[in-house]
Chains A and B, each alone.
Chain A
Amino acid sequence: MDAIIEGFSLLLELENIILITLGVLIGVLVGALPGLSSPMAIALLTPFTLQLEPIPAIAMMAALYCAGTFGGSITAILINAPGAPPSVATALDGYPMAKRGEPGRALGLATVSSVAGGIISLIIFIVAAPTLAAVALEFRPPEYFALAVFALSMLASMTGKSSLRNLIAGAVGVLLATVGIHLTTGVERFTFGIPDLDEGIHFVPVLIGLFAMGELLSQSSTLNAAVERIEAKAMKLPTWAELKELRNCILRSSGIGTFIGILPAEGSTVAAIVGYNEAKRFSNKKEEFGTGTPEGIVGPEAANNAAAGGAMVPTLALGIPGSGSTALILAALIMHGFRPGPYLLNETPEFLYAIFGAMLFANIAFLGIGLAGAKFFSLVTFIPKQLLWPAVFIFAVIGAYSSSSSFVDVYVMMVAGLVGYFMNRHGFGAAPLVMGLILGKMVEEAFSQSMIIYDNNFWALMESPIVLFFFALTALNLSTPFWTGFKNRKGKA
């Protein structure tokens, strides 16, 4: 009880309320602007939050994460250009509804279902995270190693063009985490005589480069894409009768979204697509999907916002990121000197409640923002890309520079940006690489300790049923693309 009071009281300080509100506003703004995304905003924000106290810093990022997912729906509905990938499915029915003259209704349905999905997932988060953390307290290095390997194998099913490319990017991320002085032996690895690399690769410039610079370069080839804008004068909240009719769809999608969010590496985009498909499968009006049906909006919106809360469960309870955005929040936690995982929640439970409070605040704020600011946020899409992206570049340069007042970090950011652009072009995602980079140290540490425990006998790891369970899941996960391909071929024959 003391932890709950302490956690919430931290959020009642004026400075913290301002920071969280700022996080929500930045999140909605970033979500609403096509091309800008929550991971990019979190990456750009990270260096500046390092000067804040850890709890408000992480709370601000968590609020931004929730709000970014919601913000994407505004542009998905009004200009058929999802501001963020999780809103792709919302555009399928949101835009047709707006086009037939009901943009306010579409925004209202998206907002209410986002709030409902977000709050339901947070209730699950507040129950599941401490429970999972308590279970994880029993984990020893071999179990952690197996869990981390399983989390990395989940990259294969992450949204993207190919499982193989996601796995390669993840493995490269893990390799990048080995750069610097080896903690056990003090031997330099991959430093190439550059003293700045002794401490390893700094997260901030790499994150900014991969997420912001890579996207900036991609945007330079789509400057002339024309969009049709639908004006929204005000948001119209759904009626009680309408909500009653959509109740089951919202609850189902919220459950689906939270579950998918909890799975390592699966984020809001997968949740939204599954939420949309399930809404259609259970609907009595399947033929109306794609023409602007309410279920086609609330299904994906409840699911993608629920996934945001779900993704925080493994992130805080196990130290395993549930999505690309939570991987960045995890990186920020590490930079603030925390060791994410069960010990964090058991030793500083007020931290959990502060994050919960911030995300709850963000979800409730959507209603106000949707009611009062929908028109404003639809207008931000009029900002010319030619002015918006130079501003993003400036924030990227300052963000990389300010993390250690060094131009070397700006060069690292630039190199990471170029690598990110060409990786993306060839189907390698930035998010798997970042997840690999963040999990890398944990994987090596757990692997080394396991080898010491079992006297260098790898097979002895299998003595633990938990290790065996995670390895079995890993094998199942990695073989899925092959056996589904085989099944499809057999089906066609």
Chain B
Amino acid sequence: MTSQNSTAPSTEARANRLVHPVDLVVSSIILTGVGYLFYETTQFDEVSPLFAQNIQPAMYPQLLLWIIGLLACLLPFEHILLTKKGKNIDKDRSEAVHPLTQLTIGFLIAIVLASPYLGMLLTMITICLVMPRLWGYRKPIPILLFAGVFPVVVSLVFSKVLRVYFDSGIFGIAL
């Protein structure tokens, strides 16, 4: 199920390099984010020194961004120290994101975006029907029981006992 690139350098080969290629990418992403946010801080309104008590609103976030940026610069070299300590930073990321995880992410984003239209009860029923099937569960009766009972019980407990208001969506279905 894994789709690891056979031409990609092995973990050991990566450890022998001065710069870790994956961490270099991670570091670049963080630094890009830091750069953008630093620019944002320059757009914050300035207030009079008396009102700001000598600490402008941008000062503290800028200080933090400097710290994050400096730490991120060390990231591509950190594997040298970790390898000497016997830690493998690549253990969980040596394989590509599992296809089922990608599918799950897609489904979760879709259902979350659809939830205002479906309403909370229909959203829950859809999750109970689709997710077990997506994850390879093939017994229809437990799935139907799960999708029929669990959302209704949860809806009743939260709406009647805990008084949480649930949106009924465009179909107007709620308990």
Give A contacts to B, CB under 8 Å. Answer: 48, 51, 161-162, 164-165, 167-168, 171-172, 174-175, 178, 182, 184-185, 187-190, 213, 216-218, 220-221, 223, 384-387, 389-391, 393-395, 397-398, 401-402, 405, 407, 410-411, 414, 417-418, 421, 424-427, 444, 447-448, 451-452, 455-456, 481-482, 485, 488-489
Contacts and interface: CB of A to CB of B under 8 A. Distances in A.
Contacts of A489: 84
Contacts of A162: 78, 82, 87, 89
B115 A410 contact: yes
A162 B30 CA distance: 16
Interface string B115-157: 1100010011001100110011100001100100011001000
- Closest 6 pairs (CB-CB, A-B): A221-B98, A386-B137, A390-B131, A187-B57, A386-B132, A386-B135
Contact of B154 (A387, A398, A447, A456): A398
Given A221-B100, A448-B60, A164 B128 contact: no
Contacts of A488: 84-85
B15 to A, nearest CB: 14
B92 interface: yes
B55 A164 contact: no
Given A175-B65, A386-B137, A391-B128, 9 more contacts: A161-B82, A171-B64, A171-B67, A185-B47, A386-B131, A386-B135, A393-B108, A394-B150, A424-B92
Contact of B150 (A386, A391, A427): A391
B37 A190 contact: yes
B74 A164 contact: yes
Contacts of A426: 22-23, 26, 93
Nearest to A222: B98
A448 B158 contact: no
Contacts of A401: 120, 164, 166
Nearest to B53: A452
A402 B165 CA distance: 8
A178 B51 contact: no
B43 to A, nearest CB: 10
A481 B81 contact: yes
Nearest to A426: B26
Interface string B47-67: 100011111111011001101
Nearest to A183: B57
A398 B164 contact: yes
B7 interface: no
A141 to B, nearest CB: 13
13 contacts: A184-B52, A184-B53, A184-B55, A185-B47, A218-B101, A387-B142, A390-B128, A394-B124, A402-B164, A410-B112, A427-B89, A447-B60, A485-B85
B171 interface: no
A217 B97 CA distance: 10
Contact of B93 (A172, A389, A393, A425): A425
B135 A51 contact: no
Given A189-B44, A452-B54, A402 B158 contact: yes
Contacts of A218: 101
Contacts of B150: 391, 394
Contact of A398 (B44, B135, B158): B158
B22 to A, nearest CB: 8
Given A221-B98, A390-B128, A175 B68 contact: yes
Nearest to B143: A387
A453 to B, nearest CB: 11
Given A397-B115, A426-B26, A220 B54 contact: no
A185 B137 contact: no
B45 interface: yes
A461 to B, nearest CB: 14
Contacts of A389: 131, 135
Contacts of B41: 189
Contacts of A168: 30, 68, 71-72, 75
B132 A387 contact: yes
Contacts of A190: 37, 40, 61
A175 B33 CA distance: 12
A485 B84 CA distance: 7
A448 B154 contact: no
B173 interface: no
A380 to B, nearest CB: 16
Contact of B52 (A185, A387, A425, A427): A185
A489 to B, nearest CB: 7
Contact of B135 (A385, A427, A448, A451): A385
Interface string B13-35: 00000000011001000100000
Contacts of B75: 164-165, 168
B74 A185 contact: no
B162 interface: yes
Contact of B136 (A223, A391, A427): A223
A485 B64 contact: no
A168 B64 CA distance: 10
Contacts of A161: 82, 87, 89
Contacts of A482: 81
A444 B65 CA distance: 14
Nearest to B112: A414
A425 B22 CA distance: 12
Contacts of B56: 185
Contacts of A393: 108, 127, 131
Contacts of A451: 53-55
Contact of A187 (B45, B71, B78, B163): B45
B105 interface: yes
B109 interface: yes
B11 interface: no
Nearest to A171: B68
Contacts of A452: 53-55
